[in-house]
Amino acid sequence: MSRQSELNSIIEQAAVWFAAVVEARADELLRERNSLPEPVASSLLLSPREAAELIGLAPSTLANWRSSERPGAPTYVKLGRLVKYRRADVEDWIAAHS
């Protein structure tokens, strides 16, 4: 066997081994991803429109409450420029104001 064919054989074996390793790791990652729990509904973040809909108010009312820092308004979080409401906070606010 010539040196070149030996090298080709080694490269081919390495490629087969590498493909098997990658395939095994991909299968492992897919199993891990499929075993993750679904997000809990209470941890979801709502947009101001979704929060207003859930509460039964106009989105502009929530915007006014945020800008005036109205006491007792639903708690919101800012993610950069985005305003979000935690579903659990909105549900707690509804329960407290029903």
Domain boundaries, the chain: 1-36, 41-96
Per-residue pLDDT tens digits for 56-71? 999 999 999 999 999 9
- Distance from C-alpha of 1 to C-alpha of 21, rounded to nearest angstrom: 28
CATH topology of domain 41-96: Arc Repressor Mutant, subunit A (1.10.10)
String of DSSP letters for 19-45? HHHHHHHHHHHHHHHHHSPPPPGGG-E
Q: Tell me: the pLDDT tens digits for 8-63?
A: 888 999 888 888 888 888 778 777 766 656 554 445 899 999 999 999 999 999 99
Per the structure block, which two tokens stand in for 98?
Answer: 């029903």
Average pLDDT, the chain: 86
